[in-house]
Every structure is written in C-alpha cells, then in structure tokens.
C-alpha cells in the first residue's frame, strides 16, 4: 500500500514518516518534495504551475496528501487531500471562537475559506479570528524549528488570553505543528494538521 505526500519543504518528510511509524507502520509513504511550487505560488498560482501540481498528483499510484496550505486548493481540484481539511472539519465541531494562526500571507485566504466553509456546514456560528505571525516564518525557513515552535507558542498564548469564549486554536500550516504540544495546558482544542491528514489519507487506501 502506497500513500503519496506532496511537500514544499524537505523537513516534512521525517515528520510524516514518524507519524506513519506510530499509526500505520505497514504503509509505504512516497514523498514528493517541491519547494519551487511554494516559491512560485507565493505570488499567485498561474496556469502553468497549476498544471504542474496537477500532473504530480495524477501521476501518483494512489491517494495523495498535499501538505502545503498555499497550493492546497489547486491540489484538491486535482484529487489530492488538502492537509488542513480534516483539521478544519474538527475545528468546526468545537464551540466558541476559533483562533486561526498562520505564518505565510499566501496561506491566509485558502485556510480561512476552508475553515469558514467547514463551520457553515457544521452550523458553527462562532467568530473566526485570524492571527498573522508572518514575522516568525524566517525561523522555520532557516531550519530553526525548535525556536519557531517556542516563539509560536508564546505569541499564541498571549493572544489566546485576550479572547473571551475561545474554543479552539487552529495551526494553519503543517510547519506549525510543533507548537501544539507546547499549548497542551490550555483548556481548549489546539489543532494541527499532520496527524488528522495522515489518518484521512490512510482511510482512502
């Protein structure tokens, strides 16, 4: 059984392999790593890039998870699972306000749209509060993943304390998942995408 993952950062390979070893050790993960897709998509996805993304997905032998939020909508149109879709569905079934945290401007619109769609379908009328932490992205881009997670957790904790009736925190990008464990003491749902997305991909095998 093979599940393909389309990444735009090499670091995600090890993260998903670790999850696979814990959840479904008998499943083979085929990783496609294309950082150039994200570089080009940050200024908008033109038809040529959309075709390349679709070609990578349709060439895969089975289900595909796209782990990049920015190219997620285009990947989903080609049949891939958006890495953030199961997470947004989980957030939609919480109560109260939802804090959606992101670190790239190019992910704001696709993440927010997906979350709002999921909340409408679930009948969730609570407010969505976007929190931009783009100033922290260079830490991840430079490979300082621990510092990135620590800085995210500090900023999120500070913002969460200011929001009444907060029910869930959504870490919009796969790269942000490391902060989830640092916020476990908060009395609310702290949602990251890798685990939920991998389970969704395994369900398609």
Task: Delimit the domains of the chain by residue range.
Answer: 2-82+197-204, 85-193
pLDDT of residue 169: 98
The pairing of strands 28-33 and 189-191 is unpaired
Average pLDDT over every residue of 49-66: 96
Average pLDDT over every residue of 12-21: 95
First and final C-alpha spacing in the chain = 7
Q: What is the rounded average pLDDT for all residues in the chain?
A: 96
The strand pairing partners of 81, in sequence order, are 65
Helix/strand/coil for 36: helix
- CA gap 180, 196 in Å, rounded: 13
Q: Could you give the percent of the chain with pLDDT greater than 90?
A: 96
Whether the pLDDT of residue 56 is over 90: the answer is yes
- CA gap 47, 105 in Å, rounded: 21
CATH code of the domain occupying 85-193: 3.40.50.1860
Whether the pLDDT of residue 1 is over 90: the answer is no
The dihedral over CA atoms of 25, 31, 79, 63, expressed in degrees to the nearest 10, equals: -30
Whether the pLDDT of residue 144 is over 80: the answer is yes
Distances in Å between the Cα of 84 and the Cα atoms of 6, 47, 72, 143, 177 are 13, 23, 8, 22, 11
Whether the pLDDT of residue 43 is over 90: the answer is no
């Amino acid at each position: 059984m093979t599940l393909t993952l389309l990444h735009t950062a090499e670091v995600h390979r090890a993260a998903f392999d670790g999850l696979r070893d814990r959840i479904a050790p008998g499943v083979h993960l085929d990783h496609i790593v294309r950082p150039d897709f994200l570089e080009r998509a940050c200024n908008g996805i033109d038809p040529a890039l959309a075709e390349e993304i679709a070609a990578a997905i349709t060439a895969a032998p089975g289900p595909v998870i796209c782990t990049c939020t920015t190219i997620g909508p285009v990947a989903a149109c080609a049949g891939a699972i958006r890495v953030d879709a199961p997470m947004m569905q989980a957030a939609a079934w919480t109560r109260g306000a939802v804090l959606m945290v992101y670190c790239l401007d190019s992910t704001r619109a696709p993440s927010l749209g997906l979350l709002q769609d999921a909340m409408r379908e679930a009948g969730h009328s609570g407010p969505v509060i976007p929190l931009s932490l783009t100033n922290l992205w260079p830490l991840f881009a430079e490979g300082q993943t621990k510092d990135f997670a620590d800085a995210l957790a500090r900023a999120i904790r500070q913002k969460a304390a200011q929001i009444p009736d907060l029910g869930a925190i959504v870490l919009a990008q796969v790269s942000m998942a490391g902060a989830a464990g640092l916020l476990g003491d908060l009395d609310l749902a702290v949602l990251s995408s890798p685990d939920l997305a991998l389970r969704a991909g395994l369900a398609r095998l």
